[in-house]
Amino acid sequence: MADNKDVINCPACDKPMTKVYMQGADVSVDVCLDGCGGMLFDNRELEKFDEEHENIDEIADVIQGKTFEHVNEAEVRICPICKVPMVKQGSGKAGVQIDVCNTCGAKFLDNGELKKIRTFDDVSTNKAEALIDALYNKNLEDVLGENAHKDIKPSPRRKFFEKLVYNRLIK
């Protein structure tokens, strides 16, 4: 979907949003500069900005030093483009819930959520994955160090796996 050219009102606080042109990605993001600080991304736009290495200088510039009004994040938002209720969806990162329009694909993020998604630390997940990879590849020495040559009985080993999987799921 092409960038929406009309001024749209914020789905959270109903103030007119400001279009911020993102040079690197060549898209405009609607930012609620005079209200709650929320951001509306058109279909597929968000994936251009959700990793920490991706450039969001223009957004960072316009929101810097501003204080935004508080909004109820649990409220159902109405897509400002299609006028249908948006659906709360986990972003898969940092437990952040975003509002998604299933009709046009627009995604609304409350103030601060973009930062949380971008800086989500998945080091723990990576470590657990590396351990599981190593175990499946039978490189146990790499994983267990000096314990590698000790006989591992099924029970502690099972506990080890359970702990690994548990840690992965709750992080």
Residues 6+ apart with CB under 8 A from 9: 15, 16, 17, 80
**Taking a C-beta distance cutoff of 8 angstroms, is the pair 122, 52 a contact?**
no
43 in contact with Zn ion (CB under 5 A): no
**Alpha-carbon dihedral angle through residues 17, 23, 27, 31, given to the nearest 10 degrees:** -20
Determine the Cα–Cα distance for residues 118 and 110; give it in Å rounded to an integer: 14
**Taking a C-beta distance cutoff of 8 angstroms, is the pair 17, 10 a contact?**
yes
Least Å distance, CB 39 to Zn ion, is 9
Least Å distance, CB 85 to Zn ion, is 10
**Taking a C-beta distance cutoff of 8 angstroms, is the pair 91, 117 a contact?**
yes
Pick between residue 19 and residue 127 the one whose CB is nearest to Zn ion.
Answer: 19
11 in contact with Zn ion (CB under 5 A): no
12 in contact with Zn ion (CB under 5 A): yes
Q: Using CB under 5 A, which of 46, 63, 81, 109 touches Zn ion? A: 81
Q: Using CB under 5 A, which of 20, 22, 36, 117 touches Zn ion? A: 36
128 in contact with Zn ion (CB under 5 A): no
Site for Zn ion in 85-104 (CB under 5 A): 101, 103-104
Least Å distance, CB 56 to Zn ion, is 18
**Among candidates 107, 89, 91, which has minimal Cα distance to 40?**
107
Determine the Cα–Cα distance for residues 25 and 18; give it in Å rounded to an integer: 17
114 in contact with Zn ion (CB under 5 A): no
Residue pointed to by tokens 């058109």: 42
46 in contact with Zn ion (CB under 5 A): no
Identify which range of 10-18, 43-51, 53-61, 152-160 contacts Zn ion by CB under 5 A.
Answer: 10-18
What does the binding site for Zn ion look like in residue numbers (CB under 5 A)? Answer: 10, 12-13, 32, 35-36, 38, 79, 81-82, 101, 103-104, 106
